[in-house]
Amino acid sequence: MRSIQELEAIRESTLENMTLRKEHNGTRIVVGMATCGIAAGARGVLTAFMEELAERKLIHVALTQMGCIGMCHLEPIVEVHQPGHETVTYVKVTPDMARRIVREHIEGGSPIEEYTLSHYRAK
Amino acid sequence: MREIALHMADIAENSLAAGAARIKLSVMIDRAADRLITAVEDNGRGMDADTLYRCTDPFMTTRTARRVGLGIALFKLSAEQSGGSFTIRSEQGRGTRAEAAYIISGIDRAPLGSIADTMAALIAANPETDFTLEYAADGKAFAFATDTTPYNDRTPAFAAAAKKEIQQRIDEINGGAEPI
């Protein structure tokens, strides 16, 4: 049995690690994983991000998920959050698009305009 | 949903929304009995009796972005379409277990699909949550769990490695048998 003090120490060190992880460099890729997203192919998009981030060793980038944001017809939807930049929302994302987003936006620093929600709306 | 594994990913999202720290997916294939049983179990906050009663109704949802919630209704339908059945149990403060049992030869049964992809996607996007897979086919079985991996090591690379390992073990268990 562990004492309360030991458990408290574990809790504190875990919390510290969690903060470390969350801070990263602040870049977050968020994939819509509600029923609508999954039905439209979000699982393959998420695993494509996972594989591309792993291959390129982009360990400072956090990959997370979100629920439905009310635009089910545009799923799979992906948001890229970077400190100091406006959030970029990509719509109707495929696994190939996901890999390109990692290369050009996350690594290269230039969002891919033609995949974005604003581009879709302007059409 | 084109795969049963996608339904399972979707149901696991409900577990995450219920604040589960631990989510278990299980798959049991029994070709001789023509049965496939899949389940998603969590230690989330659970549902009260009224919510549990209504949760298979497509017009019941906890979401705020729109007014329909199809996840559980679709999982139930997928089992029933094959001639199988669906059960869901829940206890407030303890968790929830949803089980879909399929008749493998049912002509309207969706393929099982990629359990490895479903596990990998969940693991990749939710490093704070522990995931377990229990997989059994015709008397052989294995389990995979993220529990022993420290939070800081739960990177996309870890999830990618988990996907490979799970797929490899599924292939081993199924041998040359035709995927269901």
Query: Does A14 map to a domain?
Result: no
Find chain A residues with C-beta within 8 A of B77's C-beta: none
A55: in domain? yes
Note the pLDDT tens digit of each residue in A44-64: 999 999 999 999 999 889 999
CATH number at residue B83: 3.30.565.10
With CB atoms and an 8 Å threshold, state whether A17 touches B121. Answer: no
Contact assessment for residue B109 and residue B5, using Cβ atoms and an 8 Å cutoff: no
Instruction: Give, in order, the Cα–Cα distances in Å from A52 to each of A82, A104, B103.
Output: 18, 12, 37
Count of structural domains within chain B: 1
Specify the pLDDT at position A114: 97
Dump pLDDT digits (tens) for A19-33.
555 556 789 999 999
Q: Identity (one letter) of the amino acid at A77?
A: I
Establish if B179 belongs to a structural domain.
no
- Is A113 part of any domain? yes
- pLDDT for residue A9: 75
B interface test, pick of A33, A47, A55 with most B CB neighbours within 10 Å: A47
Interface test with B, best of A27, A35, A61, A77 (most B CBs within 10 A): A35
Q: Do A35 and B157 touch (CB under 8 A)?
A: no
Show the domain range for B23: 4-174
Provide mean pLDDT across the span B4-30.
Answer: 96
> Average pLDDT, stretch B151-159?
89
Shortest alpha-carbon distance between residue A22 and chain B (Å):
10
The total of structural domains in chain A comes to 1
Q: Determine whether the interchain pair B126/A65 forms a contact, defined as Cβ–Cβ distance below 8 Å.
A: yes
Does a structural domain hold residue A72? yes
- Cα separation, A23 vs A30, whole angstroms: 15
What's the distance, CA A9 to chain centroid?
Answer: 31
The domain in which residue A74 lies consists of 24-122
Residue A121 pLDDT: 93
Q: What is the DSSP string of B82-113?
A: TT-EEEEEEETTTEEEEEEEEETT-TTPPP--
Partner-chain contact A50 B151, CB within 8 Å:
no
User: Which helix (H) or strand (E) segment is B27 a member of?
Assistant: strand B22-30
pLDDT, tens digit, 9 for 90 and up, residues B117-128 = 999 999 999 999
Interchain proximity B160–A67, CB inside 8 Å: no
Q: Beta A28-32 vs A78-81: how paired, if at all? A: antiparallel
* Rounded Cα–Cα distance for residues A18 and B121 (Å): 20
Interface ipTM above 0.85: yes
> Does any domain span residue B180?
no
pLDDT at A36 over 70: yes
